Amino acid sequence: MQVQFKDVTMSYGDKEVLEKINFTIPEGKLVSILGPSGCGKSTTLMLISGLTYPSNGQIYFGDKEVTKQDAVKRKVGMVFQNYALYPHLTILENIMFPLKMEKMPKNKRKERALELARLVQIEEQVDKKPKQLSGGQQQRVAIARALAKEPSILLMDEPLSNLDARLRIEMREEIRRIQQETGVTTVFVTHDQEEALSISDEVMVLNEGAIQQNSDPITLYHKPKNRFVAQFLGTPVINTIKVADHPELLNRLRLSEIMKPEVQSIGIRAENIKVTTIESEALLSGIVNHVSRVGKDTTVYIEVNGHSLVATNLGVIPEEGTMIHITADIEEIHLFNFNGKVIELEAVK
């Protein structure tokens, strides 16, 4: 179901966790809420679930306002980081629990639970207790339980954080598969950008209680709206260079005179840095500080005027200690104004 927030504010005492946020989660999509810890992403999830109510603003499920309705009325399904399975019940009983609360007849309940166990591929474990299962299996059970009552929306609060790296990748593919098979609108909270970018239809980046950007993963990465988003996404972190430290940049970028005073810094992703032999074409020049090779990846650290830049995609690997001239395509360079907002390229040309 489509979920819409209208001017939702949430404060605990004097502390405002979310400030007048507005967004729409389209029906049938998998949307990630991404942000550093303490940015309000879990609060947002709790507000969608109806486990907590906003201090101000309205929440809509479809066309219906649900601001004051509880989790049961909203019919949400929820998956927690620590699985939150009922330890004293078997897997099957765990999956049946929400149906039991709905007073579904017992045989129907069992049938539905087994169907879900098959969907999440744990049908052989249904008679075990949660403790006998691995973390990944427990998370599968938690998903099955959340899906049991055919929720209007499936909410996941950092569901993969307790799993080891390999299992995390496996489970995130599973979540994507299950989401697409069931078509349930899903909100997925995470602090892991890779997780968010890899499985979501849309990513909502949150910081300090405000939405920074809400778009599909590719746009988010290539067209960040501000410096926070640019820096939060991507490994290694995007190189940012302050214009104040390199006044020559503005001329080399061939910016119009009107634009020049607005640019506070520029950002170039590590993979977009290129080497050029012609010094006049270069944006910056620097000394190769260190070259690190890990498997197929080579990372070059370049020292420019006391700042370190990272490049990962240089065609020819320079030797340590040599001077190189670097540049990047103008489309790959992000210009930030003094508020940290991106200055659109169209405006620049």
Partner 1 sequence: MEEVNHKETPLMTKLFKARKKSETETVKDSNPASKIAVYILLTIGSFTMLIPFLWMISTALKSPAEAVAMPPVWIPQIFRIENFARAFEVAPFGRYFLNSVLITSISTLGELLTTILAAFAFAKMKFYGKNLLFTILIATMMVPGELLIIPNYLTISKLNLINTYSAMILPYLASVFSVFMLKQNFESVPNELYYAAKVDGTSDFKFLWMIMVPLSKSAIVAVAILKIIGSWNSFMWPLIVTNERLLRPLPVGLQAFTTEAGTQYELLMAASTIVIAPMIIIYLFLQRYIIMGVAKSGLKG
The one among 22, 36, 101, 106 contacting partner 1 by CB under 8 A: 101
51 lies in the site for partner 1, by CB under 8 A? yes
The one among 30, 66, 85, 333 contacting partner 1 by CB under 8 A: 85
What does the H/E/C string look like for the chain?
CCEEEEEEEEEECCEEEEEEEEEEECCCCEEEEECCCCCCHHHHHHHHHCCCCCCEEEEEECCEECCCCCHHHHCEEEECCCCCCCCCCCHHHHHHHHHHHCCCCHHHHHHHHHHHHHHCCCHHHCCCCHHHCCHHHHHHHHHHHHHHCCCCEEEEECCCCCCCHHHHHHHHHHHHHHHHHHCCCEEEEECCHHHHHHHCCEEEEEECCEEEEEECHHHHHHCCCEHHHHHHCCCCCCEEEECCCCCHHHHHCCCCCCCHHHEEEEEECHHHCEEECCHHHCCEEEEEEEEEEECCEEEEEEEECCEEEEECCCCCCCCCCCEEEEECCHHHEEEEECCCEEECHHHHC
Instruction: Record the tokens describing residue 101, joined without a space.
Output: 């609360």
Residue number, 126 or 324, with CB nearest to partner 1 = 126
**Rounded least distance, CB 321 to partner 1, Å:** 53
70 lies in the site for partner 1, by CB under 8 A? yes
Check if the beta carbon of residue 130 is closer than 8 Å to that of residue 87.
Answer: yes
**Rounded least distance, CB 144 to partner 1, Å:** 12
Residue number, 84 or 287, with CB nearest to partner 1 = 84
Q: What is the dihedral of CA 277, 279, 284, 288, to 10 degrees?
A: 50
Check if the beta carbon of residue 129 is closer than 8 Å to that of residue 62.
Answer: no
141 lies in the site for partner 1, by CB under 8 A? no
The one among 7, 36, 68, 86 contacting partner 1 by CB under 8 A: 86
Partners of 342 in the β-ladder:
336
The one among 24, 55, 56, 82 contacting partner 1 by CB under 8 A: 82
276 sits in the region (left: phi over 0; alpha: psi -120 to 50; else beta) called beta
The one among 35, 98, 224, 286 contacting partner 1 by CB under 8 A: 98
54 lies in the site for partner 1, by CB under 8 A? no
Residue number, 32 or 94, with CB nearest to partner 1 = 94
Stretch near partner 1 under the rule CB under 8 A, chosen from 34-42, 98-106, 222-230, 313-321? 98-106
Residue number, 135 or 340, with CB nearest to partner 1 = 135
Residue number, 97 or 221, with CB nearest to partner 1 = 97
Residue number, 78 or 204, with CB nearest to partner 1 = 78
**Rounded least distance, CB 175 to partner 1, Å:** 17
Check if the beta carbon of residue 10 is closer than 8 Å to that of residue 59.
Answer: no
The one among 15, 131, 166, 254 contacting partner 1 by CB under 8 A: 131
Check if the beta carbon of residue 43 is closer than 8 Å to that of residue 12.
Answer: no
**Rounded least distance, CB 173 to partner 1, Å:** 24
**Rounded least distance, CB 60 to partner 1, Å:** 19
164 lies in the site for partner 1, by CB under 8 A? no
The one among 81, 125, 137, 185 contacting partner 1 by CB under 8 A: 81
Among residue numbers 259 through 318, which ones bind partner 1 (CB under 8 A)? Answer: none
80 lies in the site for partner 1, by CB under 8 A? yes
72 lies in the site for partner 1, by CB under 8 A? yes
Stretch near partner 1 under the rule CB under 8 A, chosen from 80-88, 230-238, 244-252, 307-315? 80-88
186 lies in the site for partner 1, by CB under 8 A? no
Contact residues toward partner 1 (CB under 8 A) are: 49, 51, 70-72, 76-78, 80-88, 97-98, 101-102, 131, 145-146, 149
